[in-house]
């Protein structure tokens, strides 16, 4: 059985499809407003800063830092049982937006607020890819 068996698979909408396509290609995409220049995550139809509908998709650097985190020691569903303990974090991207993700391939005790991270992608049995982050220092 796959280690991903039973994990929820993201369902793309018309607004989020470019984002999920980027993840499948190993590219983290953000929306950038061509009117005011601000970047945003999660995907929306309007700019959260100025309300314009002139949003374009741009690749993020994938670099960021841990803004907050918690260590999950009891899986909330059997699909995550093999992963405990694991780190769920709010990552602040270099471009400004924040997203919730996992910090992987490290001991949970190594994670600190302010630690540098870089994006990677976790394949969900070919059905989708999710951004995850690894410590860089
Ligand atoms: Zn704007």
Model pLDDT for residues 37-93, shown as the tens digit of each residue: 999 999 999 999 999 999 999 999 999 999 999 999 999 889 899 999 999 999 999
Domain of 101 in residue numbering reads as: 17-135
Q: What are 16's two structure tokens?
A: 């989020």
Residue 12 lies in a domain: no
pLDDT tier at 2 (50, 70, 90 boundaries)?
low
Residue 7 lies in a domain: no
Surrounding ion ligand 1 within 5 Å at CB are 33, 35-36, 47, 49-50, 52
CA of 3 to the centre of ligand 1 (A): 41
Residue 2 lies in a domain: no
pLDDT tier at 31 (50, 70, 90 boundaries)?
very high
CA of 51 to the centre of ligand 1 (A): 6
For residues 4 and 1, what is the distance between their CA atoms, to the nearest angstrom? 8
CA of 109 to the centre of ligand 1 (A): 39
Residue range 21-29: average pLDDT? 97
pLDDT tier at 137 (50, 70, 90 boundaries)?
confident
The total domain count for the chain is 1
pLDDT averaged over every residue in the chain: 95
Name the 3-class secondary structure at 59.
strand
């Amino acid at each position: 059985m796959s280690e991903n068996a039973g994990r929820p698979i993201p369902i793309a909408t018309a607004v989020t499809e470019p984002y999920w396509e980027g993840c499948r290609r190993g590219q983290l995409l953000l929306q950038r407003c061509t009117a005011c220049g601000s970047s945003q995550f999660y995907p929306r139809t309007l700019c959260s800063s100025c309300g314009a509908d002139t949003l374009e998709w741009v690749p993020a650097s994938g670099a960021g830092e841990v803004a907050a985190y918690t260590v999950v020691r009891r899986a909330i569903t059997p699909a995550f049982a093999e992963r405990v303990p694991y780190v769920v974090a709010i990552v602040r991207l270099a471009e400004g937006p924040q997203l919730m993700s996992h910090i992987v391939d490290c001991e949970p005790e190594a994670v600190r607020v302010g630690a540098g991270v870089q994006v990677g992608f976790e394949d969900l049995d070919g059905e989708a890819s999710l951004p995850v982050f690894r410590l860089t220092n």
